[in-house]
Amino acid sequence: MRGDAIPELKQTTLQKLITKFQTAGNLILMKLFGSDKYDSEDIKWEAQVGNRRMTPFAAEDAPSPMVGMEGVSEHSSRAAFWKEKMYLGASFMNNIREPGNERLHYSATKLLAKESAKLRNRCDRRKEWMFCKMLTAGTFTYLDKRGSKVTVDYGIPAANLPSLEAARRWDQPEANVLQDWFNIVEQFEYNAQSPITHALVTSEIIRAMVLNQGMQTLLQKSAFGNGDLMARPTEVIGALLKIPNLIRYDEMYEVRCWLSAALSAGAGPHTIYVDEVGDIEVGDRITGVRIDENGGKHTSTAVMTVTAVSAAAGTITATGAITTALRPQLDYIYTIRKFLPKDRFTVFSDTIGGQKIAEFAEAPFDLDRHYGMKVDSKINWDPDGVYVRVQNKGLPVLFHEDAVYSVKVL
């Protein structure tokens, strides 16, 4: 039985409810690039490198010179699909059905709105994650409908994803932030043939720039040397380097994996079996959490560093001591990570030739060929309750491979 018998749980009502919530203001990339509808789940797009030539002079009576499609590469991938559901139990169902009791009915509808907003935000965050991976790594991996891992490679040239030498990284005494910045601008503008419009950084990079001696010396001798550097570091550095949009982006997300096998206490290293390795990466610091019988959690039973991840085996290898054994299906591990890498300074031009460099390709799904986020519900008979589900399908696409430059600076 679906929720259509209850007005508040009709699909049209739920869809209006979840779409009226605004995308969280701290998710910036999915709003910057926008989206468009594609014909199928097989997403195909063409990308350019260079090709900013001019029309040549020609004699008026001569045939027009032919222009080719040089510098164009074709890409394709199956659209990513993501979904989840939540369960609202008997008390919610009783209140939403209660005739004539406005207080209980209001309480139920308020709960429905709150939980729907949570689902909307979580769904949007996955979309934002894909944009961040595209711009900072040029690739990401996801599960397709068969449960297989699929990797999207956006073809960003390796020269556009460089790393500074260890001794020159911005948290080192020999760092020369200004020289590196001019090198970034020179390389980017030569390759993209367009100015930088946006730069994405984390607080770790801003701190390294503020503490750099060369930056401090320059700011002391300029109109900015009046204390603004400490009060408004992002704005001051953006104005000094003439970056139209220097964005300090520290939004975070949690990755959680439930144990599928027992994990004994001890010094390690440990092989951890989980239900799905998800977004866990080598280098992550993970925390083990043991849940007590009453549903409360005991944190910090273990803090470990990930040294290897095997999606095929469903295992995570980590070093670090575990003080309390963890149990399968009851306990979990988690890590908290920023959307942006803490060590990469990423610049891009949001448009080339008046057109956006990227967009989100919405793919159709379900029998009604729905585009974009979709929410529906299903009533459960025993125990009494309702499942509310949110789904989406699509993929970011990049039309100008050389309009992105991300350099490892820490």
Per-residue pLDDT at 179: 93
d(CA 292, CA 330): 9
Which is more confidently placed, 231 or 203? 203
Query: Could you read off the pLDDT of 52-82 as tens digits, one per residue?
Result: 667 777 777 888 777 665 557 888 999 999 9
Structure-model confidence comparison of residues 240 and 252, the more confident one:
252
Say whether pLDDT at 297 is over 80.
Answer: no
Query: Average pLDDT in the 315-329 region?
Result: 91
Pairing of strands 80-88, 385-398: antiparallel
Assign 3-state DSSP to the chain and report helix, strand, coil percentages, each to 5: 30, 35, 35
Cis preceding-peptide flag for 383 (omega within 30 of 0): yes
pLDDT, averaged across the chain = 85
Contact 392, 125 (CB under 8 A): no
Q: Which of residues 166 and 19 earns the better pLDDT score?
A: 166
Distance (Å, rounded) from C-alpha 242 to C-alpha 236? 10
User: pTM for the complete prediction?
Assistant: 0.86
pLDDT range class, residue 25, cuts 50, 70, 90: low
Give the span between the Cα atoms of 203 and 211, in whole angstroms.
12
The pLDDT value recorded for residue 92 is 75
Q: Please tell me the predicted confidence (pLDDT) of residue 73.
A: 80
Residue with the larger pLDDT of the pair 227 and 140: 140
259-269 confidence digits (pLDDT tens): 999 999 988 79
| Band (286; pLDDT cuts 50, 70, 90) | very high
Contact 376, 14 (CB under 8 A): yes
Rounded Cα distance between 386 and 376, Å, is 10
Spatial CA neighbour of 398 closest among 162, 139, 103, 115? 139
pLDDT at 278: 76
Taking the C-alpha atoms of residue 283 and residue 307, their distance in angstroms, rounded to an integer, is 6
Share of the chain above pLDDT 70, in %: 84
d(CA 373, CA 138): 25
d(C-alpha 326, C-alpha 310), whole Å:
20
Digit-coded pLDDT (tens) for 99-143: 666 677 677 777 787 888 888 889 999 999 999 999 999 999 887
How confident is the model at residue 1, as a pLDDT? 46
> Under a CB-based contact definition with an 8 Å cutoff, are residues 202 and 250 in contact?
yes
Neighbouring residues of 275: CB distance < 8 A, sequence distance ≥ 6: 257, 258, 259, 260, 314
Give the per-residue pLDDT at 300: 65
Condensed to tens digits (0 to 9), the pLDDT of residues 327-370 reads 998 899 999 999 999 999 999 999 988 889 999 999 999 888 99
**What's the Cα-to-Cα distance from 174 to each of 10, 164, 183, rounded to whole Å?**
63, 12, 16
- Give every CB contact of residue 339 below 8 A, 6+ residues apart in sequence: 128, 129, 132, 249, 251, 252, 253
Confidence at residue 191, expressed as pLDDT on a 0 to 100 scale: 86
